[in-house]
Structure 1
Amino acid sequence: MTALELAGRSRGVAVLLTLSGGFLDAFTYVGHGGVFANAMSGNIALLGINVASGDWTQAARHVPPLIAFAFSVCVVHMLGLATIARFVTRPALACLVLEIGFLALAASNLLSLPDFVLIPGITFVATLQTLSFTHVENVTYTSVMTTGNLRRATKRLLEGLIPRYDKAALHDASLLGAAGLCFLTGAVLGAYTTAAMMNNALWIAVLLLLSALTRMCQLSRSDYVRHS
């Protein structure tokens, strides 16, 4: 594992990525018609509710993010193939830079992106993020959704207390619990700033992701210096 990949697993980077994940879900839901950027379970549930009530216009709004999510999974899979890996040697870094670039473009209002482009675009880049950064330390987590994190946090907490004290399990539970708290904090921040600033609020997400990128570079550089 390279120094950059190890840096991407640091707690500080995970905090910043998860804050941005919660932020983006709140941004699209509050500012763009009650559609989630990341929570596909929520989109599918709302799609079903809208279909049941005959609100086909609102139901249709939940479809593009689902397509973008599936497309993003395909892209990450392709980046892992040997033939492409020769050209994209740092796929996680490339995905993070792409996400920052897209969100900065949307925040700048240089192009007036309609919702049917903006929302799936955010879904696409955010899914790239969560599929590229899958661990905090040695614990599997997701940076743009929280259900799995909360389930694993509860499981590890119980394993740390019952039938006997397990320090490692409790440490894992604290990491996953912190991820859930960061997602909530990001959602609160996203909801508040989107209501006040609309698309300009995306600059906050850009700042969070730039901070994560900077932290990764700092950590990887210090590791290189330490071992050189």
Structure 2
Amino acid sequence: MNLDAASRSRGVAVLLTLSGGFLDAFTYVGHGGVFANTMTGNVALLGIEVAAGNWAQATRHIPPLVAFVFAVFVVHLLRLDAVARSIRRPALICLLLEIVFLAIASSGLVGASEVWLIPGISFVATLQTLSFTHLENLTYTSVMTTGNLRRAAKRLLEGLIPRYDRTALRDASLLGMAGFSFFAGAVLGGVSTRVLHSGALWISVLLLVGALMRMVQLVVWPGSKTGSEAPRA
């Protein structure tokens, strides 16, 4: 199995999506109601605060939006032919960068200023979702859940109406799993952030390291693949 196929496995998707929900809860609960990943939420909250005249709070939603756009730009550059010839594993590099950044933030060695922490998390999380785009043969996102739930509902209906379709129902279960993983990550993030504060980020680091190790395991020992992660026929 190659690295691209390993990155599409169910176990990797669960760990990445748990981390995605965790980071959104971490920044929202611990850093003034700002989302790390959910730009729709940040735009909505920005509009609400502007309408209320709460300019100080409104400006807190701008840095993650800027970081999101910058991350999209970086991933686009990594996919250009001239760059791709030199950087063979951009998804792996993006995941390693996210792990290193969150580990530094968790350590407390450089403080936890919102000036760099929130946009930094938004940047690396966006790198993650743009680098890991497939769960088996399905497109999904690991740092937000609206698209996953929409596609899960659509495939569920297609699996039941007008006739029973096992493939569609399996797709719905995979996307539903991604949605539930995001929810579980958000619960974990909300609880641990209230207890551990910035130290809670170590949990996200462990989730991402787990995803990395699972990919390595699948590449080095293909026989370790579970039945639930077997490719679709």
Q: TM-score range by the shorter chain?
A: over 0.9
| Aligned counterparts, 1:31-180, within 5 A | 31-180=30-179
RMSD of Structure 2 on Structure 1 (CA): 1.4
Summarize deviations over 1:25-83 as a string: whole Å, max 9, x none: 00000000100000000000000000000000000000000000000000000000111
Looking at structure 2, the residues matched to 83 and 50 of structure 1 have their Cα atoms a distance apart, in angstroms, of 43
Looking at structure 2, the residues matched to 223 and 72 of structure 1 have their Cα atoms a distance apart, in angstroms, of 32
Task: Indicate if the aligned counterparts of 1:29 and 1:36 stay in contact, CA closer than 8 A.
Answer: yes
The one-letter code matched in structure 1 to 2:177 is A
Q: Could you tell me how far 1:189 is from its partner in structure 2? A: 0.2
Q: Could you tell me how far 1:222 is from its partner in structure 2? A: 1.9
Task: Indicate if the aligned counterparts of 2:99 and 2:209 stay in contact, CA closer than 8 A.
Answer: yes
Looking at structure 2, the residues matched to 173 and 7 of structure 1 have their Cα atoms a distance apart, in angstroms, of 21
Q: Could you tell me how far 1:113 is from its partner in structure 2? A: 3.4
Task: Please state if 1:222 is matched with 2:221.
Answer: yes
For normalisation by structure 2, the TM-score amounts to: 0.95
Aligned residue number for residue 195 of structure 2: 196
Looking at structure 1, the residues matched to 98 and 86 of structure 2 have their Cα atoms a distance apart, in angstroms, of 19
Q: Could you tell me how far 1:119 is from its partner in structure 2? A: 0.3
Residue aligned with 2:196, SS: helix
Unaligned stretches of 5+ residues in structure 2? 225-233
Unaligned stretches of 5+ residues in structure 1? none
Looking at structure 2, the residues matched to 168 and 71 of structure 1 have their Cα atoms a distance apart, in angstroms, of 37
Task: Indicate if the aligned counterparts of 1:12 and 1:212 stay in contact, CA closer than 8 A.
Answer: yes
Looking at structure 1, the residues matched to 223 and 74 of structure 2 have their Cα atoms a distance apart, in angstroms, of 30
Looking at structure 2, the residues matched to 29 and 116 of structure 1 have their Cα atoms a distance apart, in angstroms, of 15
Task: Indicate if the aligned counterparts of 1:3 and 1:224 stay in contact, CA closer than 8 A.
Answer: no
Looking at structure 2, the residues matched to 134 and 174 of structure 1 have their Cα atoms a distance apart, in angstroms, of 17
Looking at structure 1, the residues matched to 52 and 145 of structure 2 have their Cα atoms a distance apart, in angstroms, of 28
Q: Could you tell me how far 1:190 is from its partner in structure 2? A: 0.1
User: What percent of counterpart residues are identical?
Assistant: 68
Looking at structure 2, the residues matched to 130 and 66 of structure 1 have their Cα atoms a distance apart, in angstroms, of 15
Summarize deviations over 1:133-164 as a string: whole Å, max 9, x none: 00000010000000000000000000000000
Q: Could you tell me how far 1:223 is from its partner in structure 2? A: 3.5
Task: Indicate if the aligned counterparts of 1:61 and 1:116 stay in contact, CA closer than 8 A.
Answer: no
The one-letter code matched in structure 2 to 1:125 is V
Q: Could you tell me how far 1:87 is from its partner in structure 2? A: 1.7
Looking at structure 1, the residues matched to 206 and 58 of structure 2 have their Cα atoms a distance apart, in angstroms, of 32
Runs of 4 or more, structure 1, over 6 Å off, are none
Greater mean deviation of Cα atoms: 135-144 or 109-118: 109-118
Residue aligned with 1:35, SS: coil
Matched length: 225
For normalisation by structure 1, the TM-score amounts to: 0.97
Residue aligned with 2:163, SS: coil
Task: Indicate if the aligned counterparts of 1:22 and 1:187 stay in contact, CA closer than 8 A.
Answer: yes
